[in-house]
A and B are shown apart, each in its own frame.
Chain A
Amino acid sequence: MTAEIFDRGYRQYTGERSGVGGAMRTLIKHSVKRSLGLGRPARFKIVPIAIILFAFTPAVVFVGIAALIPEAIGDEFLPTYAEYYAFIVTTLYLFAAFIAPDLLCTDRRTGMLGVYLASPLDRRTYLIAKALAVAIMLGIVTIGPPLFLMIALAFEGSGPDGFLGTLDVGARIIAAGAMMSTVYTAISFAVSASTERSGAATAGTLGLLVGSTALVNITADNTDVSENIRLGSLLELPTELAFRIHGEVGEWQPDDISTVSMSLAVVAIVGLSTAWVWSRYGPLLVRR
């Protein structure tokens, strides 16, 4: 026996509504899923999966080697936490350059921004939710692999000592990862807020990162200006600060460029980027 529904009717909804917080959670969830290509055709899954694989593969390999043949590798075989960023920094740039444009430019180009702003979200909460989504995605790359590395170092016998040591290293990993995610989220947001074209924003983000670094290094290497000019290198600054967060020293010497200067430069980059994004979205008339 078969049944057929002839009239699905229309039901009133009398339950609770989740308000602004719920709308932000929904937007974050939706944006993360979109960035991962979930619910989208296969071609949209290629870039995020490849980038995550590139970021995690070295760490997973290190864990495997350290677990299976710990005696065959010396104490110097595994990289330090900060050194590991060298493995993932390129994937991080690419991730930042692809995700933010896809999430921001597409909404403006397709008019989805108008649909979002007709919900309990406003410009501020919309941008916060989008920024959190991008930061979460970048956090997968900046925080996840170093946590794997901590496991590998533990197998090797050079991991953190005891519960407090583990907490300390864990906190540094999260702080460094969150800092890098925040900086690259801010930069890619600033570029994405300047155009409706995702491709242009991706190229612009990569161009800004590479261009600033090239310009700063050429100037620093060929003139007598202060070494602090290197703070303008958007590729190197977050990685160098990550070294300091882990208590290590990278290419930049503390005598030349202090940790305080680096921290202030990061705050300035995030602040300027935020101000730029707001200046673009604040007066924006919602497209019909």
Chain B
Amino acid sequence: MMETLVSAEAVAKSYGNFSALSDVSFTISSGVTGLLGANGTGKTTLLGMMLGLHQVSGGTLTVLGVDPFTDGHQIRARMGYAPEHHTLPGDVRAADFVHHVAELHGLPPREAKTRASDALWLVGLGEERFRPMGTMSTGQRQRVKLAQAIAHDPALVLLDEPTDGLDPEQREDMLRLIRTVATTFEISVVLSSHLLDEVERVCDAAVIIGDGRTLASGSLDSLRGTGADVVVEVGTVQEAGQLGAALERRAVGHRIAGRSVVIRGDDDSVFDLTRDLCVEAEISIHRLNRRRLSLEDVYLERAS
């Protein structure tokens, strides 16, 4: 059974009259979990509450089994955090910075120094570790932030927009690293992001937030599930149009996207009808299956 690391039950947070979060409920287990939502939906507020920096205004939040606000220092010793911003102290060397953060999390100085060096090697900055952070590229600084978050061997790491500002190649590397942190180093990760495809590629589960509440949460498989539509991919765009016209005549809901036709409904009669119409009009079927939802579909569906 997977260990529950974070549990939120009807969590709310308000600042004066402004309500940042109104009803957020989810559980986060080991592995990589995406915290998804548009900019300004309260992701960072939620991360702040997980770190015990802000008190919840309502509901219950537990992290690693305890209340993060009252036992914050205990939790934070076992958590890593990589902030979103890139403006780390420019005159400090990466190795010194990671060493310092590891010591802050309770490691003895000698252990912290060794682990800082190891962590920088693991994120691919072994040769660059004595460079001042002000001379590093955005990609390198993102790696330094990841290194400082994992150097003290936390149980849970919170990464706030870790691919922000990276080019596609650097982004690939960062996502691979995050996956390695979870699978090889066995450190669970909460990845806050507004990029759906990023979460879809690297995460085992996701929590989707919008309008201050949980829109959806669970494993990616359970979130995507199977759609309520059938997708048929035909040979040409013209054939797609032919099939669309035949469906129109029978008043069957559908939409055309290139060579694919998405037909409303997923029971066996839809499959039979599609097959019959295609045979009748001599349309070649290349693929016929239930539509699998992407995270984007789920997000748009729940958000609407």
Contacts and interface: CB of A to CB of B under 8 A. Distances in A.
Bound together: yes
Interface of A: 8-13, 15-20, 22-23, 26-27, 30, 39-41, 44, 106, 109-112, 114-122, 285-288
A11 B118 contact: yes
A112 B76 contact: no
B32 interface: no
Interface string B41-54: 00010001001110
A18 B77 CA distance: 9
Contact of B73 (A13, A15, A106, A120): A120
A134 B150 CA distance: 30
B129 interface: no
A111 B85 CA distance: 7
A114 B53 CA distance: 9
A117 B91 CA distance: 21
Contacts of A30: 100
Nearest to B119: A10
Interface of B: 44, 48, 51-53, 72-74, 76-77, 79-81, 83-85, 87-93, 96, 100-101, 103-108, 111, 115, 118, 121-122, 132, 148, 150, 152-153, 158, 160-161, 184-185
Contacts of A119: 76-77, 101, 104-105
A99 to B, nearest CB: 16
Contact of A22 (B84, B87, B106): B106
A18 B106 contact: yes
B106 A120 contact: yes
Nearest to A288: B84
Contacts of A110: 87-90
Given A115-B148, A121-B73, A287 B85 contact: yes
A114 B160 CA distance: 12
Contact of B111 (A8, A13, A287): A13
A117 B50 CA distance: 12
Contacts of B160: 288
Given A19-B73, A112-B89, 4 more contacts: A10-B184, A16-B106, A110-B88, A118-B81
A115 B100 CA distance: 11
Contact of A120 (B76, B85, B91, B121): B76
A284 B224 CA distance: 39
Contacts of A27: 104
B25 to A, nearest CB: 24
Nearest to B103: A26
Contacts of A114: 81, 83, 85
13 contacts: A11-B118, A13-B152, A15-B111, A17-B105, A19-B106, A112-B89, A116-B104, A117-B51, A119-B104, A120-B105, A122-B53, A288-B44, A288-B84
B55 to A, nearest CB: 12
A110 B106 CA distance: 23
A19 B77 CA distance: 7
A190 B13 CA distance: 29
A122 B160 CA distance: 20
B106 A23 contact: yes
Nearest to A112: B89
Nearest 9 A/B pairs, CB to CB: A17-B106, A118-B81, A13-B153, A119-B104, A120-B73, A288-B84, A111-B85, A26-B103, A10-B185
A23 B104 contact: yes
A112 B91 contact: no
B79 A118 contact: yes
B91 A288 contact: no
Contacts of B118: 8-11
A13 B148 CA distance: 15
